[in-house]
Amino acid sequence: MEPKLAVRDLDLHFSEKHVLKNISIDFPDKKIIALIGPSGCGKSTLLRSLNRMHDLNPKARITGSVLLDGQPIYGAKNDPVEVRRKIGMVFQKPNPFPKSIYKNVAYGLSLYGSMKKSEIDAIVKDSIVDCALWDEVGDDLDKSALELSGGQQQRLCIARSIAVKPEVILMDEPCSALDPISTAKIESLMLKLRNEFCIVIVTHNMQQAQRVADFTAFMYLGEVIEYAETKTLFDNPQKELTQKYLNGNFG
């Protein structure tokens, strides 16, 4: 099957530091793929290179390619803004804008500038409903998003990114700042969103990877060591490094 997102021979340097080393990996559509590995292994850096978030960092130098539906996303011909509309991102720390709930979700849509108010209203509502947040905030969308709890804020950030109808959603440790109940809500939300999107998630939590991910990639020192179906990777890792990491004796 044609991968939704494909990484080919990707190398990334921050100044002199070689952070990602010759990475090639396929992300299939309508699946959840987890990136795991010890801190500093480059998994967040890889995630951020999938929607050109390194563009504004003058120290970052990238070679190789990332293909969305077979089309390269890097290169002068491709507008990073277009890329990011198709490949959304949810950050580690919930980052709602200091605006109302409505304006947060409508933010991406309002940038298009040509939509009718009624269309935007409908999409805002759908996105909030899809993120299982409507029951909690539906009665007052004019409330500031900063008044919500951390878990609600993160679900709002997910609603905000699905409102622009992306094709891929990148999540950078979306639950690491949240309590177990909020985490469970986000996880069930991810499983629901899997029906529509390709989701790539960076996580430190191996139970989480096992609960939600169809595929898991183990990264170490800037390389993808092993990439397989989640159950295979956890039950029967092929590489010694992976076994060591999963057994928790690393160092």
Partner 1 sequence: MKSSNNNSVQWFGIKALALCAFIVVLFLGIILYDIFSKGFSTLGWDFIFKYPKKGMTEGGIFPCIAGTILVTMITSIFSIPIGVATAIYLHEYAKDNLATRVIRASIRNLAGVPSVIFGLFGVVLFVDGLHMGSSLLASGCTLGLMTLPYLITTTEEALRNVPNAYREGALALGATHWEAIRTNVLPSAVSGIVTGAILGLSRAAGETAPILFTGVSFYLRYLPASVFDEFMALPYHVFILSTQHHAIEQVRPLAYGTALVLLLLVMILNILAFVIRYKYRNLNRL
Residues at the interface with partner 1 (CB under 8 A): 51, 53, 56, 58, 81-82, 84-85, 88-89, 91, 93, 95, 97-98, 107-108, 110-111, 144, 146-147, 157, 160-161, 164
Number of H helices, E strands in the chain: 10, 10
- Closest separation in Å from C-beta 212 to partner 1: 21
H or E element, residue 9: strand 5-14
- Closest separation in Å from C-beta 93 to partner 1: 6
Question: If you search the block for the tokens 């890889």, which residue do you land on?
Answer: 46
Question: Considering beta carbons, is residue 146 or 206 the nearer one to partner 1?
Answer: 146
Question: Considering beta carbons, is residue 82 or 119 the nearer one to partner 1?
Answer: 82
Question: Considering beta carbons, is residue 7 or 169 the nearer one to partner 1?
Answer: 169
The residues that bridge with 170 in the sheet, in sequence order, are: 89, 200
d(CA 84, CA 54): 12
- Closest separation in Å from C-beta 58 to partner 1: 5
Give the angle 72-88-20 at the CA atoms, nearest 5°.
55
Q: Are 103 and 111 in contact (CB under 8 A)?
A: no
- Closest separation in Å from C-beta 106 to partner 1: 10
Question: Considering beta carbons, is residue 111 or 122 the nearer one to partner 1?
Answer: 111
37 by DSSP, 3-state: which? coil
- Closest separation in Å from C-beta 90 to partner 1: 8
- Closest separation in Å from C-beta 205 to partner 1: 21
d(CA 138, CA 101): 9
Alpha carbon separation from 245 to 142, 225, 249 (Å, rounded): 46, 11, 6
Q: Are 199 and 193 in contact (CB under 8 A)?
A: yes
- Closest separation in Å from C-beta 174 to partner 1: 13
Question: Considering beta carbons, is residue 95 or 243 the nearer one to partner 1?
Answer: 95
Question: Considering beta carbons, is residue 81 or 191 the nearer one to partner 1?
Answer: 81
Pairing relationship of beta strands 60-68 and 5-14 according to DSSP bridges: antiparallel
- The length of the chain, given as a count of residues: 251
d(CA 221, CA 24): 15
Distance of CA 107 to the CA centre of its chain: 19
Question: Considering beta carbons, is residue 17 or 249 the nearer one to partner 1?
Answer: 17
What backbone phi and psi angles, to 5 degrees, belong to 74?
-90, 175
